[in-house]
Amino acid sequence: MIIQIRKLITQMINKYKFLFILFATLLFLSANASGFTIRTKNNKANKLFYKEEYKKALDLYDELDKRLEKSGVKLNSIVKFNRANTLLKLNNFDEAIKYYNKSRLITEKNLKISDIYYNMGNTSYRAGKLEESIDYYKKTLDINPKDKDAKYNIELIKKKIENQKKEEKENKEDEGNKENEDRKKEKEKTEKDKDQKDKDDEKEQQEEKQKEEQQKEEKKKDEISKEEALRILKALEQRERESRQGEKAKFKGKTGLLKDW
């Protein structure tokens, strides 16, 4: 019975052997065609990148990235690395760092990883994150100590940071000097205003004093005028009395009693 079953299986294999071979060939060709398409599009995107047509290149890299995700093929680190480089050229620094990291996680070659870290350092530098860029260059050197460019960039950025700190210090000192100068000017202005106010007050006091003295003089003149008027009035009254007395005396002389003879 077992012999008959084996014989039957052998007959079936022989009968459908051609179909098995054909199916395997189609799978192989399909895989090669898919790989060829990916390589072709990646090369086309690379050409666009070197022609500085970054947006068109990015569209192709995006298409390739989605296709690799959808097909379940192991993510292609080169495509993601190229995509990150294109994002860097478009000044999309955060997205570039994100894709450099994705490329790094699926890359097995250390020298390739050192290149990724190096480009991450460039990206952080372009983004103005100087301390972060130094960290990435140091990671590059941890993998590839012979990378002269990474060493040069570290020293260059350290010097730039030092110059920035020096400039910030000088700016603070300048601001402090300016504040002191402003305070000095404000103080001088305050003192000048105070002197002017004192002068104005003194002038006002003098004018007030002069006015008071003038009023006193006028009052004094008025008083003198009244005294003079009163004196004249008294003199007139005295003259009038004297005049009346003189008239009365004349009258008595004329109407006095005659002597008794």
Report, as an integer, the average pLDDT of 50-75: 86
CA–CA gap between residue 121 and residue 130 (Å, rounded): 9
The per-residue pLDDT for range 97-112, each reduced to its tens digit, is: 999 999 999 988 898 9
- The pTM is what? 0.57
Contact 130, 154 (CB under 8 A): no
> Residue 103 carries which side chain, given as an amino acid letter?
S
Question: At residue 250, does pLDDT exceed 80?
Answer: no
Which H/E stretch holds residue 111?
Answer: helix 110-126
**Confidence label for 36 from pLDDT (cuts 50, 70 and 90):** low
| Mean pLDDT over the full length of the chain | 79
The per-residue pLDDT for range 219-239, each reduced to its tens digit, is: 776 666 777 777 777 887 777
The per-residue pLDDT for range 156-201, each reduced to its tens digit, is: 999 999 999 999 988 888 777 777 778 888 888 888 888 888 888 8
Contact 90, 55 (CB under 8 A): yes
Locate tokens 């680190």: which residue?
A: 77
Share of the chain above pLDDT 90, in %: 41
Nearest CA among 137, 157, 161 for reference residue 149: 137
pLDDT of residue 56: 96
| Domains, the chain, ordered by start | 24-167 (1.25.40.10)
Taking phi over 0 as left and psi of -120 to 50 as alpha, with beta for the rest, 144 belongs to beta
